[in-house]
């Protein structure tokens, strides 16, 4: 049994550790010229040091290895996989890897936690149908799950404090649900989630607008990877609802990633093609300032988190209705900000046409 007062102290220590380490890494990044320079696709206006994920990574694992009574058999696979991710991010921040090479690094990290940490989805219970055994499909599903979450956080990292803030909101929700509602069966996983929140919280003041250091791919890939792995921990024998909850928690990055793929396919572009039509770009095009856009997205992310918490109390019918309303709400939000395109708003056009007919 964990002493929660000790866990709280560890979280505070981890946060302070990151607060101290981040300025040090900022100086190192500036000295080594590891910076993000302004360009057409960027929204920042000055050269800014990057690789801010390193102090988060170091603070988190220092606490996990030396301050928490978590078995090494549980920490080491996570450390091995995330080390591969961190290394991939560092190389990408230095040399800007091709998408396929970066994807290969993410896959290697996912393979490490899959084979060393036994992180996999084995069965899923579906209401009115029964238990579905994944069998040989558990391997590709697990790898794709981790890849999806890793890339989702990486794609949303476009404004100061955006990815780090969303990660804090998402991880807090996952930790609370896992600890109090037993969606994540291992209490140690929830403890590690709270410690990671502490590590990110120590970095966030330097990262919020105007940022003095960026996460870089080093940090964004690491946070997405950790969220993907943590969301799978304890889901060996999942229910359909417990599988939906992490997706809802990450509603903003999941929506941004999904509709970026749809948008690029409709425009006959490669899904790896970069553009300035992500959620944060669209909100800024509507007139919001940099900081207002970040805060607005924080609010939407918090709404998704509240919805995820509601699933823990809902009946089957309630969960179905909740899912339907979430899907409708997401589609309306996407159409209102023009995430797929100014001319691709089927529901809003239908409502406008219906209103026009009523007036006639």
Sequential pLDDT tens for the chain (360 residues): 567 888 899 999 999 999 999 999 999 888 888 887 766 555 556 778 888 999 999 999 999 999 988 888 889 999 999 999 999 999 998 888 888 999 999 999 999 999 998 777 777 777 667 777 777 888 898 999 999 999 999 888 888 899 999 999 999 998 888 777 654 446 888 899 999 999 999 999 999 988 889 998 999 999 999 999 998 875 655 667 777 888 898 889 999 888 888 888 888 887 777 777 889 888 988 889 989 999 999 999 999 999 988 887 888 888 889 999 999 999 999 889 888 877 788 888 888 877 787 776
Q: CA-to-CA distance for 84 and 327, rounded, in angstroms?
A: 35
Q: Tell me what percent of the chain is helix, strand and coil, each rounded to the nearest 5.
A: 70, 5, 25
Q: Please give the pLDDT value at position 4.
A: 80
pLDDT on residue 39: 63
**Burial (Cβ within 10 Å: 0-12, 13-18, ≥19) of residue 240:** middle
pLDDT tens digits along 125-138: 776 677 777 778 88
Q: Exposure pattern of 270-287 as b/e (b: 16+ CB <10 Å)?
A: eeeeeeebbbbbbbbeee
Residue of 237, 240, 110, 131 lying closest to 185 (CA atoms)? 237
Gap between the Cα atoms of 79 and 220, Å rounded: 16
Look at residue 353 in the predicted model and tell me its pLDDT: 79
What SS3 class is residue 48? strand
Instruction: Please report the pLDDT score of residue 340 as a whole number.
Output: 84
pLDDT, tens digit, for every residue of 205-247? 999 988 889 998 999 999 999 999 998 875 655 667 777 888 8
Count the domains in the chain. Answer: 1
| Residue given tokens 């049994």 in the structure block | 1
Q: Where are the beta strands (DSSP E) in the chain?
A: 35-36, 48-49, 123-126, 130-133, 237-239
pLDDT digits (tens, 9 = 90+) for 270-284: 777 777 788 988 898
pLDDT, residue 235, reads 62
Distance between CA atoms of residues 360 and 279, nearest Å: 36
| Tokens at 95, concatenated | 């040399």
| Strands in 43-147 per DSSP E | 48-49, 123-126, 130-133
Q: Give me 235's structure tokens.
A: 């889901």
The domain in which residue 287 lies consists of 4-359
């Amino acid at each position: 049994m964990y002493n929660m007062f000790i866990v709280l102290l560890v979280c505070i220590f981890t946060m302070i550790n990151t607060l101290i380490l981040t300025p040090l890494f900022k100086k190192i990044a500036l000295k080594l010229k590891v910076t993000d320079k302004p360009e057409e696709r960027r929204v920042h206006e000055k050269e800014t040091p990057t690789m801010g994920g390193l102090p988060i990574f170091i603070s988190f694992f220092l606490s996990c290895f030396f301050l928490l009574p978590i078995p090494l058999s549980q920490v080491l696979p996570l450390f091995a996989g995330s080390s591969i991710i961190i290394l991939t991010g560092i190389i990408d921040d230095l040399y800007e890897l091709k998408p396929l090479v970066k994807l290969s690094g993410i896959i290697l990290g996912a393979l490490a936690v899959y084979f060393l940490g036994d992180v996999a989805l084995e069965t899923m219970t579906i209401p009115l149908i029964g238990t579905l055994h994944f069998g040989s499909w558990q391997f590709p599903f697990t790898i794709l799950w981790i890849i999806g979450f890793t890339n989702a956080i990486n794609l949303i990292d476009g404004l100061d404090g955006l990815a780090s803030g969303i990660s804090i909101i998402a991880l807090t929700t996952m930790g609370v649900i896992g600890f109090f509602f037993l969606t994540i069966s291992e209490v140690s996983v929830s403890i590690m989630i709270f410690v990671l929140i502490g590590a990110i919280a120590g970095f966030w003041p330097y990262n919020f607008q105007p940022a003095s250091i960026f996460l870089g791919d080093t940090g964004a890939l690491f946070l997405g990877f950790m969220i993907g792995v943590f969301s799978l921990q304890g889901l060996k024998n999942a229910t359909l609802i417990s599988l939906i909850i992490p997706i809802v928690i990450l509603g903003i990055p999941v929506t941004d990633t999904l509709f970026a793929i749809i948008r690029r396919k409709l425009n006959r572009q490669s899904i790896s093609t970069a553009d300035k039509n992500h959620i944060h770009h669209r909100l800024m095009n509507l007139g919001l300032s940099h900081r207002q856009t970040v805060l607005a997205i924080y609010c939407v992310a918090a709404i998704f988190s509240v919805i995820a918490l509601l699933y823990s109390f809902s009946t089957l019918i309630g969960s179905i209705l909740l899912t339907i309303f979430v899907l409708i709400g997401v589609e309306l939000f996407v159409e209102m900000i023009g995430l797929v395109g100014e001319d691709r708003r089927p529901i809003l056009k239908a409502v406008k046409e219906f209103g026009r007919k009523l007036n006639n």
